[in-house]
């Protein structure tokens, strides 16, 4: 479990979502690994659950939501300043149309 302050919404996700506002420097414990939040994190905002490399796809709810535009170390906020949106109506409608996420 990431910590009582964050939730991982799907096993494929590489981000955690804040369950409440979290102050910079709060330790996120994952098994034997831990890291601090690098900035204050607002309710429902995302942080990198591990180091994410530039060009890597960002997953939330098990779905691709964007691509990292720079390296994002674990604990850093993940938002429009370091992610390019990959949103398309195809991703939004995939489940509805029966298309597998692997074919998107």
36-95 pLDDT per residue, tens: 999 999 999 999 999 999 999 999 999 999 999 999 999 999 999 999 997 765 555 555
Three-class SS of residue 16?
Answer: strand
Q: The whole model's pTM is what?
A: 0.78
Closest to 78 (Cα-Cα) out of 44, 103, 102, 101: 44
Alpha carbon distance 60, 57 (integer Å): 10
Pairing of strands 15-18, 46-48: antiparallel
Tokens 């990431």 — which residue?
Answer: 2
pLDDT band at 29 (very low <50, low <70, confident <90, very high): confident
**pLDDT score of 31 more than 80:** no
Rounded to the nearest angstrom, the gap between the alpha carbon of residue 84 and the centroid of all alpha carbons in its chain is 13
pLDDT score of 98: 60
The token duo for 94 is: 């995939």
């Amino acid at each position: 479990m990431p910590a009582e302050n964050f939730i991982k919404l799907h096993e494929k996700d590489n981000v955690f979502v804040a369950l409440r506002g979290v102050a910079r420097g709060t330790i996120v414990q994952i098994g034997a690994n831990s890291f601090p939040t690098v900035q204050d994190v607002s309710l429902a905002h995302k942080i990198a659950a591990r180091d994410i490399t530039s060009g890597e796809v960002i997953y939330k709810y098990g779905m691709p939501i964007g691509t990292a535009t720079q390296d994002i170390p674990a604990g850093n906020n993940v938002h429009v300043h370091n992610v390019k949106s990959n949103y398309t109506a195809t991703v939004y409608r995939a489940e509805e149309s029966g298309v597998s996420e692997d074919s998107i």
